[in-house]
C-alpha cells in the first residue's frame, strides 16, 4: 500500500498548483483504482513479486544465448523497470501458446513485449509504447526475380510463428507461407535456397544479419509495412500495474537508461540520442555555412572581378581557336578541291533543284565553261542537258536511286566521245535525298581495246571452228575414200559389198547431221516466242527417251511445285532439254538417277538437271561450251555450245557445276515474261 501512495504522490507532483476540485476527483479515482487493484490482485496476493512472460526466439527482443541465458532488449528493459519500481520481476521464457490464458488466470502478470493492434486492444491493456515496430521482407542478394511485395506470389516465404506477418501475406494471396519458431534458422534456409524470402520484424532481421555477418549476402525489398506501436501487455483492467509500468518507463527514459539499452541492442545509429546529435551537427553546419556565406559576400567584388578577367581571357582564347578552326576548314576545303581537280574523270555535284554545287577542272575543260559562273545554275541553263538525260537526274533525286549509263555519246567541239556515267544520290538520314553526284569517264580507249580483243577472240574461235570441222569431216571421208579405193579390187566380194551398203550411208548421214548441227550453231533460226507450259514440254521430251531409259534401268525424277508457264521458243527449249538429258544418260551408269526440278521465282524460272554420273574434271569444265569440244567417242561437241547459244538468245544464264565421281548439276535461269523479246 506504501507503493500505491508513492505512485499517488508522484502523480500529484506533476501538477504545479493544487486545485481543490482536481484533488477531490483524484481521491475518488484513487478509491476506484484501489478497489480494482484489490479485485485484480486476488490471484497473486500470496506473492510479493511480479511475473512477466516473454518469447525465446525473437532476437534482439528476447532470446536464449549460446550459454542458455535469457537476454535481449526486453529483458534488460524489464530489469530496469524492476529496479525503478523497487520490486522483483521474474521473467519466464516460454512459447506464446497459452500465454493469454496464463495472464487471465493470474499465473503471469504481464507479457514483456507485444505489437499493438485493434484485436489485441480488446483483450489486453498496453503500456505506453516504447518502440515503433515494422515488418519488412528480406531476400538473397542473387535473387533478381523478387523486387517488391507483388513478386512474392508463387514463392515460399518464411514468417515468425504466432506473428502478424502471416495475416499480411494471407491478404496478398497466392503466397506459400512457412511458419518458423527460430528466425535465425529462417535466414539460414534463405541462404541455402530452401525458401525464397523472409518476412519478419525489421529490427529482428537487421540484428540477426549484423550478428551473423550476413549483411552483404541478404538485402531488403520494398518499403516497411505494418508500422505499429510496441510495449508491455497486461490483463484487461489491471490499471494499477499498468500505471506503475508507465511511471517506471517514463523515469528510465528521462534518466538515459532507456537510450543505453536501446543502443546496446539496436545500435547507436538508430537511437534518439544519435538523432539529436545529427540534428545538432546539422545546425552547426547551417551556422557555419551562414558565417562563411557572410565572409564570401564580403569578398564577392574581388572574386567577381577576377572571374570577369578570367572569362575575358577565355573568350579571347576561344576567338583565337575559332579563327584557327576556320583556317583549318578553309585549308581542308582547298585540299578537297585539289583532290577532285586531280581526278582524270569528270565530277559534278548538284542539289535537289538540279543546281550545280561543285564541278572539277576535268568537267570545266571538257565542256569549256567557267566554273564560278556554272555553280548555282541548272543543267538546262548552262546546256548540260544536251550531254546528260535530265529525266534520269530527276529519277535519281526523286527515288534516291543510283543509275549507271553505259556508252553514252558526247558531241563535243573536239569530236564525238564515248563516256560511261554514274549518278549517285546524296542522302541525308534514311531517305531524304538532298542532291546527287555525277561522275563520267571517257571509254574510247577501253572501247578500242575491247574491239581488238573481240576480233582476236573471233579469229581464235574461227580457227578452232575450222579445225574442228576439218577433223570431224576427215573421219567419215577417210572411210568413204577407203571403200572407193577397194571397190575395183573387192567388188565381186559379197561380204565387202554388204559392208559398203551398211557403212557408207551411215558415214554420209553422219556428215549430214554434223553439217546440220554446224549450220544451226553458226546461223540459228529466228526464234518463235510463244507461251507454253514447261511441264508438258518436259514430259514430251522424257517420253522420247523412254526406250533407252528402260534398257539401262535409269530413273528420272521430276520436281515441279506448280504449273509453270514460260514465254520462249518452244522448239529451242525442247532441243536444250534433249541435249541435257542425252548428256546425263551418257554420264550415268546402269541404274543411274536423273532429277529435273523447276522453280518459279518472281521474275524468273530456274530449271536444274542433276545426275549421279561420272562428272567432269575441272580442266574440261572450263571448255564445255566451246564448239567441237567433246570427250565422247561419237560426239560432235556442238550440243552444249548450242544450248549455251539458245539460252543467250533468251537472255538467260546457264551454269554447270560438276566434280569427278560426284555427278553434274546444270542450272538454267530464264526470264518469265516477254521482256527479253522486247
Task: Give the model's pLDDT for residue 340.
Answer: 84
Domain shared by 406 and 547, yes or no: no
Strand 555-560, strand 593-600: pairing? parallel
In this structure, are 70 and 216 located in the same domain? yes
* Nine cell digits for residue 599: 522453280
Please indicate, yes or no, whether residues 418 and 542 belong to a single structural domain of this protein.
no
Q: Which helix (H) or strand (E) holds 373?
A: helix 371-374
Last residue of some domain: 238, 266, 294? 266
Residues 114 and 216 in one domain: yes
Q: What is the pLDDT of residue 133?
A: 86
Judgement on whether residues 388 and 241 belong to the same structural domain of the protein: no
List the one residue out of 562, 565, 563 whose CA is nearest residue 532.
565
User: Same structural domain for residues 109 and 243?
Assistant: yes
Q: Are 243 and 99 in contact (CB under 8 A)?
A: no
DSSP, collapsed to helix, strand or coil, labels residue 564 as coil
Pairing between strand 432-442 and 415-428? Answer: antiparallel
Give the pLDDT of residue 334: 78
For residue 386, give the CATH number of its domain.
3.30.450.20
245 and 368 together in one domain = no
Alpha carbon distance 339, 162 (integer Å)? 88
* 228 shares a domain with 137: yes
Regarding pTM above 0.85, the answer is no
Tell which of 250, 266, 282 closes a domain: 266
CATH code of the domain covering residue 104: 3.40.190.10
**Alpha-carbon distance values, 441 to 407, 446, 579 (Å):** 10, 10, 44
Whether residue 598 contacts residue 535, with contact meaning beta carbons closer than 8 Å, is answered with yes
> Does 57 fall in a domain?
yes
Residue 439, pLDDT score: 92
For residue 164, give the C-alpha cell: 502478424
DSSP-assigned states of every residue in 250-263 = HHHHHTTHHHHHHH
Sign (positive or negative) of CA dihedral 587, 550, 655, 645: positive
User: 566 and 433, same structural domain?
Assistant: no
Helix or strand run (H / E) with residue 618? helix 618-621
pLDDT (0 to 100) of residue 675 = 46
Express each pLDDT in 346-393 by its tens digit.
Answer: 899 999 888 999 888 888 888 888 888 888 999 888 888 888 888 989
> Which parts of the chain have pLDDT scores under 70?
1-46, 268-281, 454-455, 457-472, 474-475, 478-479, 510, 513-514, 516-525, 628, 631, 633-636, 673-678
Range of the domain at 604: 524-677
Is 670 exposed, middle or buried, given 0-12, 13-18 or 19+ CB atoms closer than 10 A?
buried
99 and 243 in one domain?
A: yes
**Judgement on whether residues 257 and 396 belong to the same structural domain of the protein:** no
Residue partners of 351: CB distance under 8 A and separation at least 6: 357, 434, 435
Domain edge (last residue) among 442, 468, 487: 442
Q: In total, how many domains does the chain have?
A: 3
What DSSP line would sit under 1-39, residue for residue?
A: -HHHHHHHHHHHHT-SS--HHHHHHHHHHHHHHHHHHHH
Inside any domain, residue 496: no
Say if residue 118 is in the same domain as residue 260: yes
State how far the alpha carbon of 424 is from the alpha carbons of 352, 391, 397, 440, 674, in Å: 12, 14, 9, 12, 30
Pairing of strands 124-126, 218-235: antiparallel
pLDDT at position 78: 94
Residue 60, preceding peptide bond in cis (omega within 30° of 0) = yes
| Lookup result for grid cell 546457264 | 654
Cell representation of residue 657: 557445276
Q: Are 3 and 87 in contact (CB under 8 A)?
A: yes
Give kind and range of the element (H or E) at residue 214. Answer: none
Per-residue model confidence (pLDDT) at position 43: 43
Which pLDDT does position 677 carry in this prediction?
42
Please name the residue that has the C-alpha cell 575395183: 488
Cβ-contact 427, 406 below 8 angstroms:
no
Amino acid at each position: 500500500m506504501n507503493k500505491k501512495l508513492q505512485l499517488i504522490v508522484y502523480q500529484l507532483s506533476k501538477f504545479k498548483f493544487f486545485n481543490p476540485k482536481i484533488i477531490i476527483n483524484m481521491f475518488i479515482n484513487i478509491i476506484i483504482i484501489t478497489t480494482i487493484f484489490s479485485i485484480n490482485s486476488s490471484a497473486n496476493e500470496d506473492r510479493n513479486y511480479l511475473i512477466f512472460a516473454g518469447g525465446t526466439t525473437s532476437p534482439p527482443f528476447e532470446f536464449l544465448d549460446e550459454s542458455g541465458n535469457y537476454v535481449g532488449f526486453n529483458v534488460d528493459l524489464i530489469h530496469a523497470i524492476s529496479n525503478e519500481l523497487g520490486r522483483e520481476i521474474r521473467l519466464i521464457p516460454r512459447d506464446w501458446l497459452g500465454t493469454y490464458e496464463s495472464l487471465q488466470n493470474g499465473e503471469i502478470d504481464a507479457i514483456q513485449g507485444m505489437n499493438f493492434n485493434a484485436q489485441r486492444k480488446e483483450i489486453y491493456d498496453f503500456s505506453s509504447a516504447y518502440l515503433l515496430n515494422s515488418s519488412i521482407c528480406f531476400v538473397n542478394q542473387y535473387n533478381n526475380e523478387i523486387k517488391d511485395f507483388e513478386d512474392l506470389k508463387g514463392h515460399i516465404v518464411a514468417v515468425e510463428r504466432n506473428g502478424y506477418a502471416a495475416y499480411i501475406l494471407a491478404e496478398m494471396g497466392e503466397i506459400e507461407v512457412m511458419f518458423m519458431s527460430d528466425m535465425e534458422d529462417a535466414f539460414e534456409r534463405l541462404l541455402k535456397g530452401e525458401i525464397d524470402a523472409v518476412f519478419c520484424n525489421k529490427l529482428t532481421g537487421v540484428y540477426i544479419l549484423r550478428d551473423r555477418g550476413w549483411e552483404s549476402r541478404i538485402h531488403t525489398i520494398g518499403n516497411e509495412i505494418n508500422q505499429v506501436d510496441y510495449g508491455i501487455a497486461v490483463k484487461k483492467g489491471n490499471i494499477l500495474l499498468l500505471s506503475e509500468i508507465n511511471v517506471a518507463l517514463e523515469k528510465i527514459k528521462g534518466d538515459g537508461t532507456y537510450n543505453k539499452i536501446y543502443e546496446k541492442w539496436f545500435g547507436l545509429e538508430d537511437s534518439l540520442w544519435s538523432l539529436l546529435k545529427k540534428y545538432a551537427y546539422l545546425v552547426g553546419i547551417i551556422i557555419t555555412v551562414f558565417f562563411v556565406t557572410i565572409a564570401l559576400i564580403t569578398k564577392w567584388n574581388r572574386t567577381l572581378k577576377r572571374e570577369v578577367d578570367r572569362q575575358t581571357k577565355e573568350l579571347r582564347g576561344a576567338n583565337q581557336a575559332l579563327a584557327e578552326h576556320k583556317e583549318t576548314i578553309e585549308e581542308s576545303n582547298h585540299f578537297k578541291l585539289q583532290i577532285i581537280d586531280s581526278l582524270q574523270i569528270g565530277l559534278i555535284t548538284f542539289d535537289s533543284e538540279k543546281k550545280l554545287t561543285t564541278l572539277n577542272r576535268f568537267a570545266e575543260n571538257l565542256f569549256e565553261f567557267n566554273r564560278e559562273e556554272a555553280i548555282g545554275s541548272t543543267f538546262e541553263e548552262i546546256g548540260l542537258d544536251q550531254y546528260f538525260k535530265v529525266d534520269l537526274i530527276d529519277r535519281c533525286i526523286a527515288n534516291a536511286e543510283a543509275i549507271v549509263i553505259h556508252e553514252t555519246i558526247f558531241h563535243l567541239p573536239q569530236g564525238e566521245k564515248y563516256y560511261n556515267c554514274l549518278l549517285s544520290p546524296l542522302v541525308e538520314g534514311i531517305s531524304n535525298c538532298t542532291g546527287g553526284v555525277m561522275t563520267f569517264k571517257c571509254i574510247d580507249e577501253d572501247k578500242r581495246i575491247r574491239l581488238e580483243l573481240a576480233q582476236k577472240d573471233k579469229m581464235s574461235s574461227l580457227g578452232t571452228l575450222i579445225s574442228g570441222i576439218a577433223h570431224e569431216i576427215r573421219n567419215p571421208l577417210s572411210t568413204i575414200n577407203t571403200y572407193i579405193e577397194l571397190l575395183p579390187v573387192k567388188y565381186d566380194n559379197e561380204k565387202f559389198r554388204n559392208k559398203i551398203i551398211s557403212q557408207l550411208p551411215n558415214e554420209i548421214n553422219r556428215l549430214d547431221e554434223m553439217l546440220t548441227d554446224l549450220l544451226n550453231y553458226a546461223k540459228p533460226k529466228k526464234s518463235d516466242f510463244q507461251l507454253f507450259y514447261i511441264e508438258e514440254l518436259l514430259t514430251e521430251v522424257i517420253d522420247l527417251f523412254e526406250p533407252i531409259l528402260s534398257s539401262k534401268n535409269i530413273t528420272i525424277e521430276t520436281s515441279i511445285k506448280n504449273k509453270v508457264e514460260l514465254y520462249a521458243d518452244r522448239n529451242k527449249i525442247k532441243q536444250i532439254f534433249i541435249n541435257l538429258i542425252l548428256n546425263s544418260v551418257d554420264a550415268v551408269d546402269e541404274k543411274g538417277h536423273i532429277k529435273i526440278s523447276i522453280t518459279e521465282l518472281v521474275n524468273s524460272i530456274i530449271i536444274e538437271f542433276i545426275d549421279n554420273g561420272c562428272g567432269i574434271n575441272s580442266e574440261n569444265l572450263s571448255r564445255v561450251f566451246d564448239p567441237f569440244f567433246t570427250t565422247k567417242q561419237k560426239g560432235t561437241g556442238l550440243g552444249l555450245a548450242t544450248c549455251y547459244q539458245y539460252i543467250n538468245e533468251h537472255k538467260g544464264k546457264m551454269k554447270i557445276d560438276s566434280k569427278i565421281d560426284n555427278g553434274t548439276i546444270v542450272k538454267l535461269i530464264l526470264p518469265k515474261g516477254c521482256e527479253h523479246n522486247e
